[in-house]
Chains A and B, each alone.
Chain A
């Protein structure tokens, strides 16, 4: 039987409908489509997809279970490697991971692994099935700092081995970037809550409103009897461009704009936490966070939304599907443009005094490739122009939060403030491991999960060796 050359299309909310709501854009495969897509997997002996996955999910095995219509069996295979299946199926950049190396991709489109993963996880969650039996306790305690992707993964993997794990979270809800950053229309909060519940079923305890580095120190966690600590505190401090006008009202970091909208639910009617809605919005940056901010602004009622990015379409770091969705929704991409100043209303008698009036930028062209291999943008002389906007959102990355570093003696960080770890995830302090954005600065959900997984393995070895 000839292989179907293309992935089965993902059913989507139509662009003109979805820009008026915060419901999920991608609707998910139905059973029939999932079965047909699963048939596309060649079950090739090399299994390049497994090594292409940062947490090494046994992909061909779970797809084989789909073919047998054993969806719960498929879930258990995914769950053995990933504590957050419904999340990964939605937010992983599969095109640069498992699907990129799929054998089928040499000639056709790869198997839609992400969509199948999502189908399996959603099927499992719809049955409200338990994640698995609670493993037998091994008598050891581990503390995890931060309930984001790396912390949840580390906690889940350790709990599965019988560790008593407490996850300390600074905010009032577990999930980290999955709840404050990634919008509802891309990752419904109910799904994150379900994944957190699944961890609770495994025995993981969540302590919210505890800021490690303030409420408790890393040293105090050891004093309380934890034998090891994993730091997954995330990236924290938003970066700004250091150009004039960034303190005008109407200028947001993407973190603030998204936190107000997602975590604090400013997208609802009459929210308790306000956010500027409507008008013309410019989002600066080209990553997933920039796409999220732009599409959120649109859904909040903006009349026009620009993405201002200093390189070209090919260099956009965002997940391909997010860029496609943004284009479909009418986001106006101003590529090869770099902001130089944000202009505000300057007359103190003007009711708009101190708020944003325009974004001034210059045009760029791509020069020679830099160390990262990307062609670096160069300013075109005399190309200055202005965009009239009411809101500017800076989505140009974050740097690691200094709180834990400044309150933990002997914890070494690099020049950028990222915690220094070895290959196993161990920091300069014995028994203290770290991973995710706290180490690398802004990266992806799945890379943070990979780091959490690796650290869980190392923590297990460390505690077992100590015992011997």
Chain B
């Protein structure tokens, strides 16, 4: 069993937990994820690893309450144990050889962007961070980002905190002003990543995006997480769990990925309502 060692509420719908999983803590790198089940009847859900403490043998996860399982997870307490916790899965983010990068996080995607910014920071890369949220009370991990980034811009859609607007606005401004990066890394909602790619496209700077499709096993067995890359006009099928989750943003078919992510929207809604009834969700 995998004990919840520490639990912290980051904002009304985002929770941080340190989970006892020594083997994973020893191995995990930025960009990788785990799959968990809360109980023996539960579904398997993938969550990105937000950090590790190899000495303590713990793995940090940060998740937003979006469905039945995350709701159930959010009401679990320190000392409780998860049924299953497997990983690290996926390929680590490639950081080698990059001197100047821009790391963009949107919403709870910041939980994934943070260790990526950290990996760059630790190897001496100059990191510009842009993090965006809908509103002031949803801002998470700002202090962490500040300590990992040489420059940090915080955006809110409604302007209640930081600058008003979405993450592509300061990015465009910087690029228009002649700033350049070896790579832009965008992690957040599909639509945000799609627009980051479009913003950067005229400048030809490499863009890496982190995909979060529906998954079951996470080890390359079910093919549910497949997505399409368009390479030289040819469409190629890839599996996010073994080929990703990071992909070249210029190649990803985002529109298809958005449709696939909504495949179980009705079922998920029903399960969430049921879970709200059971666990007294917000």
B219 touches A238 (CB 8 A): no
B253: chain A residues at CB < 8 Å are 247
B237 touches A246 (CB 8 A): yes
Q: A236 at the A/B interface (Cβ < 8 Å)?
A: yes
A415 to B263, CA, bound (A): 35
A210 touches B23 (CB 8 A): yes
A354: chain B residues at CB < 8 Å are 256, 259-260
Dominant secondary structure at the B interface: mixed
Interface string of A80-120 (1 = CB under 8 A from B): 00000000000000000000000000000000000000000
A215 touches B260 (CB 8 A): no
B169: chain A residues at CB < 8 Å are none
Total interface residues on A, CB under 8 Å, equals 38
Beyond A247-B227, A272-B271, A402-B242, is A209–B216 a contact (Cβ under 8 Å)? no
Beyond A264-B43, A264-B216, is A256–B86 a contact (Cβ under 8 Å)? no
Q: B42 at the A/B interface (Cβ < 8 Å)?
A: yes
Most buried by B among A214, A236, A354: A214
- Give 14 new A-B contacts, CB below 8 A, not counting A215-B88, A264-B44: A170-B217, A171-B217, A236-B221, A237-B239, A249-B262, A255-B223, A259-B222, A260-B222, A270-B274, A272-B43, A272-B69, A354-B259, A402-B220, A402-B242
Residues of A within 8 A of B (CB): 170-172, 180, 208-211, 214-216, 234, 236-238, 240, 242, 246-247, 249-250, 252-253, 255-256, 259-260, 264-265, 270, 272-274, 353-354, 401-403
CB distance from B262 to the nearest CB of A (A): 8
Q: B249 at the A/B interface (Cβ < 8 Å)?
A: no
B42: chain A residues at CB < 8 Å are 272
Beyond A172-B86, A210-B86, A216-B23, is A249–B260 a contact (Cβ under 8 Å)? yes
Q: B89 at the A/B interface (Cβ < 8 Å)?
A: yes
A249 touches B263 (CB 8 A): yes
Residues of B within 8 A of A (CB): 23-24, 27, 37, 41-44, 68-69, 83-89, 216-217, 219-224, 226-228, 237, 239, 242, 253, 256, 259-260, 262-264, 267-268, 271, 274
CB distance from B97 to the nearest CB of A (A): 21
A170: chain B residues at CB < 8 Å are 86, 217, 219
Beyond A240-B237, A264-B216, A272-B69, is A215–B87 a contact (Cβ under 8 Å)? yes
Beyond A210-B23, A210-B86, A247-B228, is A259–B220 a contact (Cβ under 8 Å)? no
B217: chain A residues at CB < 8 Å are 170-171, 180, 259
CB distance from B202 to the nearest CB of A (A): 27
